[in-house]
Amino acid sequence: MTPELKQRYDRQIRLPSITESGQQKFLDARVLIIGMGGLGSPVAMYLAAAGIGHLVLSDFDIVESSNLQRQIIHTEQTVGQLKVDSAKQFIASLSPNTEVTTIDHELSEDELAEQVNLADVIVDCTDNFPSRFELNRVCIKLKKPLVSGAAIRQEGQISTYDSRKENSPCYQCLYPDEGLESVTCSMEGVMAPVVGIIGTMQAQETLNVLLDRPALVGTLLLLDAQYLEWQRMQLPKNPKCPACSETQT
């Protein structure tokens, strides 16, 4: 590690649980972030700041003024641009050493599998069930850790699914029914800091996963932001899960 990098990441390297070897893991890591909205913004910002070497950002939406209330990686100046381009500009200004790859179209099944395969950790920052289910299936198939977050109204949730670990549940252990209708923030609304809290927790958990000590495998955290209350629930593996059970072919 160069003296410049040692200085830049000094406050992390000082931590006995990180040291230079942990920081080197961050610098060597490739993280795939699906969705560059309210959750993806803090995830990308904190992971870039923390020194993740390579971020792959996937989103095909354009920045709109109604996004700026909570999608803090975008600014008034980038309204009308692709979200991934807007995010890439911000990351370049914060952390020029972070390599950024942008994907600005809907990923085909093969492309998604390729990107998941290349990544060390995948962060689910999407806003709809079909994307979440697909991402979950691909991560199980390729045995990749998935840090999953969601936020709506004044509620949020976060968990980690890691099929490398024998007893880890998956996203469909939580939601077995694929027919669920997506409720979106554009329909129901969302309070600005809620996506920031959940996204920031996802960034922390991504670093935990890279250090091989995830905090939320088999645990679901639920946030009630109005009362600032967290609920910690055990999330067991569902033996009849349509996505991850042994009987699945």
Residue number with CB closer to Zn ion (101 or 245) = 245
**In angstroms, rounded to a whole number, what is the distance separating the alpha carbons of residues 155 and 7?**
38
Contact between 207 and 200 under an 8 Å Cβ cutoff? The reply is no
Residue number with CB closer to Zn ion (48 or 243) = 243
**In angstroms, rounded to a whole number, what is the distance separating the alpha carbons of residues 30 and 174?**
27
**Site residues (vs Zn ion, CB under 5 A):** 170, 172-173, 241, 243-244
Helix (H) or strand (E) holding 111: helix 109-118
Residue number with CB closer to Zn ion (147 or 241) = 241
The residue count of the chain comes to 249
Inter-axis angle of helices 83-94 and 40-50, nearest 10:
30
Query: Please, what is the minimum distance in Å from the beta carbon of residue 94 to Zn ion?
Result: 36
Residue number with CB closer to Zn ion (116 or 173) = 173
Residue number with CB closer to Zn ion (63 or 243) = 243
Contact between 220 and 156 under an 8 Å Cβ cutoff? The reply is no
Give, as one character, the DSSP assignment of residue 98: S
21: number of CA atoms within 13 Å, CB side?
A: 4
Query: Please, what is the minimum distance in Å from the beta carbon of residue 157 to Zn ion?
Result: 16
Angle at 21 (CA atoms; ends 28, 163), nearest 5 degrees: 60
- Laid out side by side, the sheet with 30-34 consists of 99-103, 54-58, 30-34, 121-124, 146-152, 155-161, 219-224, 229-234
Q: Return the structure tokens found at 167.
A: 């007893």
**In angstroms, rounded to a whole number, what is the distance separating the alpha carbons of residues 40 and 126?**
8
